[in-house]
């Protein structure tokens, strides 16, 4: 050991500046070959050579570099702690940044949820459209809410409700109904409704009639409503067809399958809404006059139209 003290001390002086050079000097001073030390320490010779050339990054992760330097230094009689200090100064290699192995995602899960949401929205729209279509192209409120009043009910309610069907606003209908118990208020309200809807040219006539007639009706205390002149409808079925005829009060005048050759006559207050399952199979006469079944707006053979809404 004694002979190695001198070169070790000399090497210690250079340690502070150049780690690889210091190790090389110490090794040469001891007259050792890299291969000899490599066999002894079982560290590959190229790693030791890389340390002597200060090419630390070629060896691998710092944990191995430091380990090799410590062992090499120890073998050459240098203080491993001093070597580590120089190593720390000389390199700014950080420890290995461990990363998890990322699995490859062939289909992004988030995308799937987006698709599900899109599908739900689409379904919702489809259902909405279907409802709209089945309702005949318009969103109706619960049918009969305003119209299901008894046709032969007391005159007050009849007088008050008569103008209602022509009004597109259900709120107004509700008001009219709510007011029925009081004669005078119902009258004024009916009048108010008439004023509110001045542009409803059709409505104007019956409402005016209602306003003028209502007191009289209340006084006489009965009789059929005089809101509008009932019209008569003649149906002649050339071939089988479904027919649905509803008058202004919401009363179903005809609601069945008409057999071929059948003839039916009915009366109802206008406007009367008509639905024929097979528009070409039915002939219609209104008040004895032949009524041309409209060809526009048909869905296949199905035809819907209203009589007396804007003709009168």
Partner 1 sequence: MLKSFLGYFSNDLSIDLGTANTLIYVRGRGIVLNEPSVVAIREEPGRGGKVLEAVGQEAKNMLGRTPGHITAIRPLKDGVIADFSVTEKMLQYFIKKAHGSRYFRPSPRVLVCVPYGSTQVERRAIRESAEGAGARKVYLVEEPMAAAIGAGMPVHEARGSMVLDIGGGTSEVAVISLNGIVYAASVRIGGDRFDEAITNYVRRNYGILIGEATAERIKHEIGSAYPGQDVREISVKGRNLSEGVPRSFTLNSNEILEALQEPLQGIVGAVKLALEQTPPELGADVAERGIVLTGGGALLTDIDKLLTEETGLPVVIADDPLTCVARGGGRVLELLDEYGPSAFSVE
Q: Is 35 in the site for partner 1 (CB under 8 A)?
A: no
Q: Which of 6, 28, 33, 61 binds partner 1 (CB under 8 A)?
A: 61
Q: Is 41 in the site for partner 1 (CB under 8 A)?
A: yes
Q: Which stretch binds partner 1 (CB under 8 A): 29-37, 42-50, 126-134, 288-296?
A: 42-50
Q: Taking the complex as a whole, how short is the minimal distance between the CB of residue 56 and partner 1, in angstroms?
A: 14
Tokens 């379904």 correspond to what residue?
A: 123
d(CA 192, CA 171): 13
Chain-centroid distance of CA 65 in Å reads 60
Helix axis angle, 19-29 relative to 45-52, nearest 10°? 120
Question: Is-contact 171 135, C-beta < 8 A?
Answer: no
Q: Which stretch binds partner 1 (CB under 8 A): 38-46, 105-113, 136-144, 255-263?
A: 38-46
**Closest to 51 (Cα-Cα) out of 77, 82, 62, 29:** 62
Compare residues 100 and 222 and give the one whose CB is closer to partner 1: 100
Which two three-digit tokens encode residue 141? Answer: 């409120």
Q: Which of 14, 18, 71, 91 binds partner 1 (CB under 8 A)?
A: 71
Q: Is 62 in the site for partner 1 (CB under 8 A)?
A: yes
Compare residues 110 and 199 and give the one whose CB is closer to partner 1: 110
Task: Determine whether 69 is exposed, middle or buried from the number of CB atoms within 10 Å of its CB (0-12, 13-18, 19+).
Answer: buried
Q: Count how many Cα atoms sit within 13 Å of the Cα of residue 11 in the half-sphere of its side chain.
A: 27
Compare residues 109 and 138 and give the one whose CB is closer to partner 1: 109
Residue list 172-231, contact with partner 1 (CB under 8 A): none
Q: Which of 13, 28, 63, 131 binds partner 1 (CB under 8 A)?
A: 63
Compare residues 96 and 129 and give the one whose CB is closer to partner 1: 96
Q: Which of 16, 17, 36, 67 binds partner 1 (CB under 8 A)?
A: 67
d(CA 61, CA 159): 98
d(CA 208, CA 47): 110
Count of residues near partner 1 by CB under 8 A: 22
In the shown chain, the binding pattern of residues 77 to 106 toward partner 1, with x for contact by CB under 8 A and - for none, equals: ------------------xx-xxxxx----
Paired sense of beta strands 231-237 and 263-268, if any: antiparallel
Q: What is the DSSP letter of 140?
A: P
Q: Taking the complex as a whole, how short is the minimal distance between the CB of residue 4 and partner 1, in angstroms?
A: 12
Number of residues written out for the chain: 312
Residues in contact with partner 1 by CB under 8 A are: 1, 41-44, 60-64, 66-68, 70-71, 95-96, 98-102
């Amino acid at each position: 050991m004694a002979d190695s003290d001198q070169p070790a001390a000399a090497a210690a002086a250079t340690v502070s500046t150049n780690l690889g050079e210091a190790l090389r000097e110490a090794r040469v001073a001891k007259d050792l070959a890299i291969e000899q030390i490599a066999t002894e320490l079982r560290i590959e010779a190229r790693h030791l050579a890389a340390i002597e050339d200060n090419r630390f990054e070629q060896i691998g992760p710092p944990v191995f570099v430091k380990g090799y330097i410590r062992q090499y230094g120890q073998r050459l009689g240098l203080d491993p702690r001093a070597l580590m200090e120089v190593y720390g100064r000389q390199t700014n290699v950080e420890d290995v940044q461990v990363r998890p192995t990322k699995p490859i995602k062939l289909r992004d899960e988030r995308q799937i949820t987006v698709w599900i949401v899109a599908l739900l929205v689409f379904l919702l729209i489809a259902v909405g459209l279907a409802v709209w279509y089945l309702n005949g192209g318009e969103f109706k409120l619960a049918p009969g809410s305003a119209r299901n009043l008894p046709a032969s009910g007391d005159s007050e309610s009849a007088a008050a409700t008569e103008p209602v069907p022509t009004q597109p606003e259900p709120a107004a209908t509700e008001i009219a109904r709510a007011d029925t118990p009081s004669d005078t208020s119902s009258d004024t309200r009916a009048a108010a409704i008439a004023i509110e809807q001045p542009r409803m040219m059709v409505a104007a006539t019956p409402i005016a009639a209602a306003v003028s007639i209502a007191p009289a009706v209340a006084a006489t205390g009965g009789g059929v409503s005089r809101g509008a002149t009932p019209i008569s409808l003649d149906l002649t079925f050339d071939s089988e067809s479904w027919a649905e005829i509803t008058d202004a009060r919401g009363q179903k005048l005809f609601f069945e399958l008409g057999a071929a050759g059948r003839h039916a006559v009915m009366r109802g207050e206008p406007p009367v809404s008509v639905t024929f399952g097979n528009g070409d199979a039915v002939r219609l006469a209104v008040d004895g006059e032949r009524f041309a079944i409209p060809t526009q707006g048909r869905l296949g053979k199905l035809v819907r139209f209203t009589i007396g809404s804007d003709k009168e």
